[in-house]
Structure 1
Amino acid sequence: MFEFPVLIGDIGGTNARFAIVAEKGAKPTLLSHEATADHPDPSSAIRSSLQKGGDRAPPPRSAILAIAGRVDGPEVQLTNAHWKVGGERIAGDFDLTTAVVVNDYVPVAAGAAEIEPHDLTSVGPCPPIPGGARVVLGPGTGFGAAALVPYSAHLAIISTEAGHTDIGPADAFEEKVWHALERVEDRITVETVLSGPGLARLHAAVAHVRTGQPHDKIDPAAVTEAGLAASDPHAVEALGLFARLLGRVCGDLALTFLATSGVYIGGGIAPRIVKVLQESGFRQAFEKKAPFVGMMKQIPTSVITVHDPAFNGLAALASEGRKFVYHGQVWHRPE
């Protein structure tokens, strides 16, 4: 399906990361990280990345790009950035024979098929169970999720928009927080609370509940730093609440896809708060799914700690495309 060298890209709302897979089965060679705000369109960012790659960047013959957004139609608008991504346009700009665009959690799911134990940090005591479905998800600039489901001799990758589903309070304290939470388009969704901006909203709402006064949002990184250092009690409480909500959503997705082979958490936030996840109520919230508590206790949960996890998945899609079944925008040069 792909002519080598293959350009691979992981395009998020904040950064776009590009690499080259020189030949089938080769490991990806990182070219650069480009801030989406620094470029008017993806082709500009790709040109910059190829230039920075120098001798490490032979001219690509095809490309597979993962984007943070739904992949519908000939051009796709990123959910949290101004770019529009079109495979045919990029193929024309770089004289490619093939260009494929997929949701950004498709390669993370593909990478989970062969992920090594040293690239994971367990949250909970459960060993992995082979042969079942897996879920990958991640809170970052937004919230992405996908499932990897065995299907005959293939692995089907099901991308989702789970981040845009509604979420509500589960106890009296959360109900107070929900009344103080900033809404997005008059909704409280998974992404509203489980993302970088979501952590800032949780902190402001927790501070409002505890002090009785409205509280301005602060930078999510500052919330994380203050919470881990225990220098701000509201940040500590917000991180704990974030972890419990993440556990609840992980459990919901595990039930939805019967992900008996595990839930794998990526994104930019989880690797920084592994200790909070391990010591908070994350697993309790994950397992509290009566009448299936027994099943939930057997499902492993892990944080993906490898850097740029989508790259290994993109390389697998480029080299082992027949192994996977997935939805994407596919363009081939006419014969």
Structure 2
Amino acid sequence: MTPTPAPCTPLPSDAGFPRLVADIGGTNARFGWVAAAGEPVSHVRKLAVPEFAVPADAARAYLEQLAAAMGTRAVPRHAAVAVATAVVDDRVAFTNSHWAFSRQALQRDLALDSLLVLNDFEALALALPWLGPAQLRTHGAAPGGPGARAVIGPGTGLGVAGVVPTRHGWQALPGEGGHATLAAGDDFESDLLRCVRRQYEHVSAERLLSGIGLPVLHAAVAEVLGQPVAAPWSAEQVMAAGLARSDAASDRTLDVFCSLLGSFAGNVALVLGARGGVYIGGGIVPRMAERFFASPFRDRFEAKGRFAAYLRAVPTALITDTLVALTGAAAAIDAEVGTGVPRPR
């Protein structure tokens, strides 16, 4: 029997397939399939995290659905799982859900030759160089060209990552930037942060700029406006009322959300030197649609004093395709185990 190649051994173009890819957040787990070298991610399914005890159960459910659809058994050789938490050692525990697992155990349970586990925004960053116009909506000029790129994603939490060009291809820069301290840009925001600090000692960007943060931000806005709420609103309630402009506090909350996000995105662009562009991902901003593009986001992105001109030249874009992290996960497997089909650089 021919021995299985080690994970870092380049494979011929007809080997190492099929492959399983997954993008797991606090609410949903998206799975996809790469059938052969050079083929895009296909057979994408979205499963609800609360419906499964552990990721292995969700993966098996997906593979069963896939087998039924293909009419044959679905047996992946390699897999890459993008997760909404920091990846440090064998034990992976999600920040905003009940899921936790051992990487070695998951590889064994799914009978994989290799398993990559990477931060979900590392995967999203790896997908940035391959995004096309149909997957983006831009503020003016489209991102691209030389230089680093960054992605920020308000979803259940707040993810941040970057990607830089190297002579060996694109290299992701994972991190936990969503937990950096959030700063106020004006007196109203200073009052907001003062309110939130009475409840939380550290006010990170994720504390307000996320699905878990919208209710906190809304309560603080209502208090500063002199309209305190009796009980916290859900993120869905805040979003719906804000978009309908049926509640003053919710309406102002969405404006403040976009302003704070713009300031934070500008900070990320400066830290990473993201001259190639800053992308906004996650599930919250796409729901705002025109409201986001009419918001103070871009003005606040550029409002960095002596470096306003620097940031004026940095393009920003909204990622409208919610499945692009799966493409990044597939690229991560290519980089780890090899493929006979070269990707564009």
Q: Under a length normalisation based on structure 2, what TM-score does the superposition of the two structures give?
A: 0.88
Residue matched to 1:42: 55
Q: Distance in 2 between matches of 1:103 and 1:127?
A: 26
User: Does the Cα contact within 8 Å between 2:126 and 2:172 map onto a contact in 1?
Assistant: yes
User: Does the Cα contact within 8 Å between 2:26 and 2:95 map onto a contact in 1?
Assistant: yes
Equivalent residue for 2:277, pick from 262, 280, 287: 262
* DSSP-derived class of the 1:244 partner: helix
The reply on whether 1:135 has 2:150 as its aligned counterpart is: yes
Specify the code of the residue in structure 1 equivalent to 2:31.
F
Residue matched to 2:166: 151
Q: How many residues align?
A: 322
Residue matched to 1:285: 300
Stretch of structure 1 that moved more, 206-215 or 282-291 = 206-215
Equivalent residue for 1:253, pick from 263, 268, 273: 268
Equivalent residue for 1:236, pick from 247, 251, 255: 251
Residue matched to 2:118: 102
Stretch of structure 1 that moved more, 17-26 or 133-142 = 17-26
User: Does the Cα contact within 8 Å between 1:126 and 1:297 map onto a contact in 2?
Assistant: no
Q: Distance in 2 between matches of 1:129 and 1:45?
A: 36
Q: 1:199-214 alignment to 2 at 5 Å?
A: 199-214=214-229
| Structure 2 gaps, min length 5 | 1-6, 339-345
User: Does the Cα contact within 8 Å between 1:139 and 1:267 map onto a contact in 2?
Assistant: yes
Residue matched to 2:32: 19
Deviation at 1:216, TM superposition (A): 2.4
Residue matched to 1:331: none
The reply on whether 1:272 has 2:310 as its aligned counterpart is: no
Structure-2 change in CA distance of 1:141 and 1:29 (3 Å):
same
Deviation at 1:155, TM superposition (A): 1.4
Give CA deviations for 1:84-142 in whole Å, capped at 9, x if unaligned. Answer: 2332211211211111100001111111011101110113x234340110001100100
Residue matched to 1:70: 86
Q: Distance in 2 between matches of 1:295 and 1:110?
A: 24
Deviation at 1:151, TM superposition (A): 2.1
Structure-2 change in CA distance of 1:300 and 1:31 (3 Å):
closer
Give CA deviations for 1:187-219 in whole Å, capped at 9, x if unaligned. Answer: 110000110121111111111111253542211
Stretch of structure 1 that moved more, 238-247 or 166-175 = 166-175
The reply on whether 1:313 has 2:328 as its aligned counterpart is: yes
User: Does the Cα contact within 8 Å between 2:143 and 2:278 map onto a contact in 1?
Assistant: no
Structure-2 change in CA distance of 1:320 and 1:312 (3 Å):
same
Deviation at 1:182, TM superposition (A): 6.5
Q: Distance in 2 between matches of 1:251 and 1:216?
A: 33
Equivalent residue for 2:75, pick from 55, 59, 63: 59
| Structure 1 gaps, min length 5 | 324-335
Residue matched to 1:87: 103
Specify the code of the residue in structure 1 equivalent to 2:63.
L
* DSSP-derived class of the 2:218 partner: helix
Residue matched to 1:328: none
User: Does the Cα contact within 8 Å between 2:126 and 2:171 map onto a contact in 1?
Assistant: no
Q: Distance in 2 between matches of 1:162 and 1:68?
A: 13
Deviation at 1:83, TM superposition (A): 1.6
User: Does the Cα contact within 8 Å between 2:64 and 2:74 map onto a contact in 1?
Assistant: no
Residue matched to 1:327: none
* DSSP-derived class of the 1:292 partner: helix
Deviation at 1:38, TM superposition (A): 1.5
- Aligned residues with identical type, % of pairs: 35
Stretch of structure 1 that moved more, 90-99 or 261-270 = 90-99
User: Does the Cα contact within 8 Å between 1:200 and 1:217 map onto a contact in 2?
Assistant: yes
Q: 1:293-312 alignment to 2 at 5 Å?
A: 293-312=308-327
Structure-2 change in CA distance of 1:26 and 1:294 (3 Å):
same
Equivalent residue for 1:173, pick from 188, 191, 212: 188
Q: Distance in 1 between matches of 2:218 and 2:29?
A: 28
Q: Distance in 2 between matches of 1:318 and 1:133?
A: 21
Aligned CA-pair RMSD: 1.9
Deviation at 1:180, TM superposition (A): 2.4
Q: Distance in 2 between matches of 1:315 and 1:111?
A: 9
Residue matched to 2:20: 7
Equivalent residue for 2:179, pick from 164, 172, 182: 164
* DSSP-derived class of the 2:212 partner: helix
Q: Tell me which stretches of 4 or more aligned residues in structure 1 moved more than 4 Å.
A: 182-185, 320-323
